[in-house]
Amino acid sequence: MTRAPRWWLRRSLRFRITAMAGAVTLVFLLALALLAGKGLSPLLVRSVDGELRGALSSASAMVAEGKPIQARSGVTIRVLDTAGAPVDGLPPPGLRHDEVRVLKAGTPVKTDEGAAEGAKWRWLGSVVTAPDGSQRLVVAGAGLVGFASAAAGGSHWLLWVASVGALLAATATWLVVRSALRPVGRMRRAVQGLPHGERLDLPEAHDELRALAAEFNGLLSRQEDVSERLRRFTGDAAHELRSPVASIRVQAEVAVANPDPELAQETLADILAESERLSALLDGLLTLARSDAGEVPPAEPVELVTEARAAIARLPPGSPSARVSGVAGRSWAHAAPAEVELILNNLLRNACRYARAQIVVSVLASKATVRVVVDDDGPGIAPEHRDLVFDRFYRVADDRARTSGGTGLGLAMVSEAVRRRGGHVTVGESPEGGARFVVVWRKATGEPG
């Protein structure tokens, strides 16, 4: 960025608006003054021509009737023959032959000679027939003394008026902008002293300032909500991390204090289980942190039937029976393969934790969406918990008593991964009596052939 734009951007908004308004007004008025100055000379000439036509019309009528011509103030009337020679007994008017021809045609002529030596004159002529049948050229002339100075002076005055008008416009703009920005200054001072949890008062007028205050209040609400979620998340994460770390420490101390190889082996197995749970917890926290930071992998068409079968194949030995049901062709979702893998892994592991004998995965497609339905025959989820199971670190009351190794983050990661792709996940009751999780994605366009 060059020095001039940096200097300009450092100026206040009031200064920039005033400068722009003043510059635009000055350019407009100067252009108008120049145009008016150029039109001033033709305007003066037209006014002289109008006066000459009136005098010429009256004089031509008198010559045609044979009456003497009456003098007219500021206008010289001459009677000439068709060759330009005077017939009124006065000296020659100083018109050349070519100028006489132009006057006989009724066209005005401006000359450099007239009654006064060196003065510019404007002539207008008309051919009339005298009572004796002779043709006479009646001409009316007027001196253009001071004509150039009047035009130049008028142009200078117009330029001065344009400059003063631009200055007045800039001053008015400064005052108007100052008045318009005064509520913004009050709002800025109110924001500086705004206590936590308070909101800006909305102005009574339904204008841009009210909309700005409303948007700022919304921003404060979202910011406080994010801060509260971060505070809860940090507290919950610290609490969840403390348990496996404390367990590993205690078991390690037992193994060190007790030299019995069998007890040590059993203790190491427990330490391994707790470390795996800790690793899973850290992986979940990292995934959610990346999602909160807006790190979203690029989306592409993902075939859900294949992914569901692969997720079932990844289940550990001894898991309840799982199968894919209700498949008719292929179903493509607008997502990322890693996201789909994470979602299916967590849903199936959650189902394995509670299912008695079987898990059924269904893949259904409609015109605009695709759905994955995971049913199990376990105890299900009570209605009062269904809106909370997707919260981070939330567990159903009896889940903490289990030794399943859950971290409380699996369903939260499922909900977050689906939400950022414009889908949603819900939980209800399975026909088998257990829980039913339904994940809905947008259907992918341009599916691979």
Across 423-430, average pLDDT? 91
Q: How far apart are CA 273 and CA 277, in angstroms?
A: 6
Select from 45, 63, 155, 186 the least CA-distant residue to 109. Answer: 45
Comparing 203 with 221, the larger pLDDT belongs to 221
Q: How far apart are CA 361 and CA 348, in angstroms?
A: 9
Confidence of residue 399 (pLDDT cuts 50, 70, 90): very low
Confidence of residue 402 (pLDDT cuts 50, 70, 90): very low
Q: How far apart are CA 216 and CA 420, in angstroms?
A: 24
Output the pLDDT for position 361. Answer: 93
Q: Best-predicted range by mean pLDDT among 3-17, 165-179, 258-272?
A: 165-179
Confidence of residue 18 (pLDDT cuts 50, 70, 90): confident
Q: Has residue 449 got a pLDDT over 70?
A: no
Q: Look up residue 306 and give its two tokens.
A: 């294949």
Q: How far apart are CA 131 and CA 137, in angstroms?
A: 14
Output the pLDDT for position 439. Answer: 94
Q: How far apart are CA 112 and CA 123, in angstroms?
A: 11
| Portion of the chain with pLDDT greater than 70, in percent | 81
Select from 228, 188, 180 the least CA-distant residue to 207. Answer: 180
Q: Has residue 156 got a pLDDT over 80?
A: no
- Cα-Cα-Cα-Cα dihedral of 164, 166, 168, 173, to 10°? -170
Output the pLDDT for position 285. Answer: 67
Confidence of residue 360 (pLDDT cuts 50, 70, 90): very high
Across 142-169, average pLDDT? 74
Q: Is 440 helix (H, G, I), strand (E, B) or coil?
A: strand
CA 29 from chain centre, in angstroms, equals 32
Q: Best-predicted range by mean pLDDT among 103-112, 253-262, 293-302, 311-320?
A: 311-320
Comparing 223 with 38, the larger pLDDT belongs to 223
Confidence of residue 114 (pLDDT cuts 50, 70, 90): very low
DSSP code for 205: S
Confidence of residue 204 (pLDDT cuts 50, 70, 90): confident
Q: How far apart are CA 168 and CA 66, in angstroms?
A: 62
Helical spans, DSSP H, in 89-192: 97-104, 147-192
355: left (phi over 0), alpha (psi -120 to 50) or beta: beta
| Average pLDDT value for the chain | 79
Q: How far apart are CA 109 and CA 89, in angstroms?
A: 23
Q: Has residue 403 got a pLDDT over 50?
A: no
Contact 211, 242 (CB under 8 A): no
Output the pLDDT for position 231. Answer: 75
Q: How far apart are CA 227 and CA 371, in angstroms?
A: 33
